[in-house]
A and B are shown apart, each in its own frame.
Chain A
Amino acid sequence: MLLVALFVLALVTMDLPTWQRFMTGMQRNFTPLMRGLVRPATGVFDLAWTSMVQTFFMAVLGTALGATLAFPLSFFAAGNLLGGTRWALPGKALLVAIRTFPELVLAIIFVAAAGPGPTAGIMAMGIHSIGYLGKVFSDVVEGIDQGPMEAIRASGGNQLHTFLFAVVPQVLPEFASHVLYRLEINLRAATILGMVGAGGIGLPLIQRLQFRRWDEVSMFLLVIVGFIIVVDAISSRIRGRLV
């Protein structure tokens, strides 16, 4: 009941969604939109393809950057390695803080700080990915089998040995799987970062949206959706083998 009441309240108090405006907008743009969407402009395929490839590599670098930074951080957020959950709290809090910060806002800040271009987008993705990757990495580390650690300690290995030969081999496959999953997420994110000037396919796409070149928009969407579906399929196959 409360949920329904809140829903109605939210609908009514929102000044915007006048049904009428929805209808006029649809009437004005629906037919050209559909006509354009079913007839993708083949002329922009090359542009869409090259920008999508660049977008993909932005996602690769952003993910790599995030993984590189998250790797050391995750061990400082794993309670079982630090000898108690409370020692992991600062690390965990830092990761939550990073995760909460919207990627696109990071991208805007990087564009303002370092100028427009793919570098800004890569850095935004890299920083944002730390939050997610650090969290799942540390979950993996907390779930490892303690046996090998004890075995190495019992046979006289020091902390570094325990870490290198008991912790790292256990967590690497799962880490790799999470990194791939993050790559899928980042690829989606990278397609829109261009809208704030952070490189990739977003910029040419939003220009075409603003000029309502629906046939060209359609081609861009086709390339994006196709690329994402293929990358998802490959990535989930590899992930299935890893874990």
Chain B
Amino acid sequence: MPEAPALPRPPGSTRLRSLLSLAVVASLLVIAFRQTNFNLEALFTGTADFFRFFGRLVPDWSALPQIWAPLLQTIQIAYVATILGSLLALPLIFLASSNTTTDPVTMWVFRTLLTVLRSIPDLLWAALFVAVLGLGGLPGVVALTLFSAGVLAKLGSETVEAIDPGPLEALRAAGAGRNRTIIFAVVPQVAATMVSYILYVFEINVRASVVIGLVGAGGIGQLLLRYMNFFDYTGVAALIAVIFAVVLIIDGFSVWARSKLI
């Protein structure tokens, strides 16, 4: 008589492995506590201070007239950078995708370039270009353009690599050149997804353009920094409220537009 099938049990190594990963995580945390001189006491007193500080953040709405111009500049920076970044990303996408690129060396070069572009955080780009181009909105636009190009090209080349190869082969078999193949076989397949990615990058850029002013790259962040330096907490509060509302509205719009697309 055949034995009744045993209840499935987790293999022995699984338990060992989870214990091991638990140990790794725990030791990482211990090292982290020592490395950063983080103490729990500071966490609690800090949190208390944080809420006390928040209590002082009573918005002073008379600061509003001062806010509009830098707010508009912030959105402009994000918008212009998104468009420029998309334009810049367009050729990069096809150079970095395995099914549209000319040869593996080009692909590798551009992929590495994209990885480096994305490894440097947007705010760091901003600080770098402030040092090169001086204060103002210009370094912000340049920084966000480069960063969005990196993100978009990466997302785009993943999309391009996942397309249906049928139309591609059909056009190639009919003797179409590389550019025609891309225009008629690849672009129609990826256009909707790309627009949704562009909207997504626009969301990221709005968030980034709010804070790049803190390193001198224009927009509302610069005003925020000034208020902070003068301890004008009521102004800070009004500013934060406005930022909050704007980010929420743009996010909402973008989520809505993306849901219509796909």
Contacts and interface: CB of A to CB of B under 8 A. Distances in A.
A77 interface: no
Interface of B: 28-29, 31-33, 35-39, 42-43, 45-47, 49-50, 52-54, 73, 76-77, 79-80, 83, 115-116, 119-121, 123-124, 127-128, 130-134, 136-138, 141-142, 207, 210-211, 214-215, 218, 224, 228, 240, 243-244, 247-248, 251
B121 A114 contact: no
Given A54-B36, A61-B32, A123-B43, A29 B132 contact: yes
B218 A195 contact: no
Contacts of B123: 104, 192, 195
B76 A10 contact: yes
A179 to B, nearest CB: 10
Nearest to A21: B138
Contacts of B29: 60-61, 64
A124 B43 CA distance: 11
Interface stretch (A134-142, A150-158, A204-212): A204-212
Interface in A98-119: 100-105, 108-110, 112-114, 117-119
Contact of A102 (B47, B130, B210): B210
B55 to A, nearest CB: 11
B169 to A, nearest CB: 30
Given A10-B79, A14-B77, 13 more contacts: A16-B73, A25-B134, A64-B29, A64-B32, A101-B244, A102-B243, A102-B247, A105-B240, A123-B43, A123-B50, A192-B121, A199-B36, A209-B128
A134 B124 CA distance: 27
A11 B32 CA distance: 46
A-B pairs, 5 with minimum CB distance:
A114-B46, A57-B32, A25-B133, A16-B137, A113-B49
